[in-house]
Amino acid sequence: MLKKMQWRFIRAAMAAFGTVMLFLAAGINLINYSVTIAAQDRMLDGIFEYEQMAKAPPPGGRPMLSEMPWAPGPEADFTTRFFAVHCDMDGNVMFISRDYIFSVDEDTIKQYASNILAKGKERGYYKEYRYRANETEKGRVVIFLNVSRDLRFITSLLLVSVVIAVISLFVVFALVVLFSGKAIKPYIRNMERQKRFITDASHELKTPLTSIATSADIIAMESGEGEWVDNIQKQTVRLSHLVASLVTLSRLDEGMPFPKKAGFSFSEAAWEAAEPFASSAKAKGKKYTEHIQENLSFHGDRSSIQQMISILLDNAVKYSGENGEIRLDIYRKHGKICIEVLNTCNLPKEIDLNRLFDRFYRPDESRAAHTGGFGIGLSIAQAVAEAHGGSITVKSRDGGTILFRVVL
């Protein structure tokens, strides 16, 4: 249990850290991507104005690219690589401006422009270029800005972010594992004290309970059966069951529940456990059906498995109400043994089904007092299932039926 608690703490811490890292890495990369696109588009807008000067140069001729106010710097003539394609309204190329790039031939440029015009998009990426397609009074202009350096930086930043995030996760995981023991140490101490108290108290109660039961039996033999003696005997049996349940829970919590696991016939063990409850249900006028697959075998502790089945059936008989229905199904599916106990009931609307496995939790205190339960039976059933590497779940349909399912 304590190991599970520690790993639950580790998972929660890693989930929180992983979420923060994900948002941080995503935020950095999105901001970088947005800023980069904005800078590229500003550059394309400036180049478009620059290309318009090629058609109608100002007095003195068209200035150098680095002299434009939007230029990235005095080295812009050497660092900015672009070409522009001027077309008529039908998409026919009139002329190509490629003074700032020489690595692309005219046929390739015409093909690029044709592909972009066919797309009909104003802006976007095409291979290693950011493009802008605009209509002018005389036709269309498609400008291609080489942004391979920016794309490499975006990719590099993304990869670096992923690597840093993964390394950070491993480092934090190691640190959380290292320090999680210290973080839950106070809780472990409290749990150990609680378990020790329950174990000691249970053992201390056994002797006086045995003495009370023996004394009540003697009084009954000497004075005859009576209301008070009968009540003493019933309450003694009830307390004895509580003590036995507390000892069982304490043993399961210690992680050494079943030192003598062995192979046994699961089908036979289930029939033995279910038989008294079948009789009890029918005696109370309830409909009881069972379907137990034959020749099921299992490696584990036979008595604890029978105890788990008994707990589930006992709950079903107690809470199924008058003329209720109870169904037990045990079968093998995908190599696992499944135990399903379903019964009709009248659950409160505000009930939290997952809390049914909490110790001493009873959704209806008045009814629990009538049925005589202590609220630890399902805790034991859950502990037995988990001690055998299995799980137990519960679900309900509109509060009219409740189904417990164990997978081993």
Residue 370 has pLDDT above 60, yes or no: no
C-alpha dist (Å) from residue 109 to 83, 114, 209: 8, 9, 98
Query: Residues with Cβ < 8 Å from 88, sequence gap 6 or more?
Result: 94, 138, 139, 140
- Measured CA to CA, the distance from residue 189 to residue 195 in angstroms comes to 10
CA triplet 137, 139, 143: central angle to 5 degrees?
110
- What is residue 57's three-state secondary structure? coil
Cβ atoms of 48 and 158 within 8 Å: the answer is no
Residue 245 has pLDDT above 80, yes or no: no
Cβ atoms of 132 and 143 within 8 Å: the answer is yes
In this prediction, residue 365 has a pLDDT band, given cuts at 50, 70 and 90, of low
262-407 CATH:
3.30.565.10
Tokens 């020489």 sit on residue:
102
| Cα Rg, the chain, nearest whole Å | 39
Poorest-confidence range of 88-102, 104-118, 214-228, 341-355?
214-228
Cβ atoms of 300 and 290 within 8 Å: the answer is no
Helices assigned H by DSSP within 56-184? 76-79, 106-119, 148-183
188-253 CATH:
1.10.287.130
Which helix (H) or strand (E) segment holds residue 70: the answer is none
User: DSSP letter at 294?
Assistant: T
Question: How many Cβ atoms from other residues are within 10 Å of residue 246's Cβ?
Answer: 20
Domain ranges of the chain: 2-151, 188-253, 262-407
Question: pLDDT tens-digit profile of 204-224?
Answer: 666 676 777 777 777 777 776
pLDDT for the residue numbered 407: 93
Determine the average pLDDT of the residues in 285-308.
Answer: 89
- Measured CA to CA, the distance from residue 102 to residue 333 in angstroms comes to 69
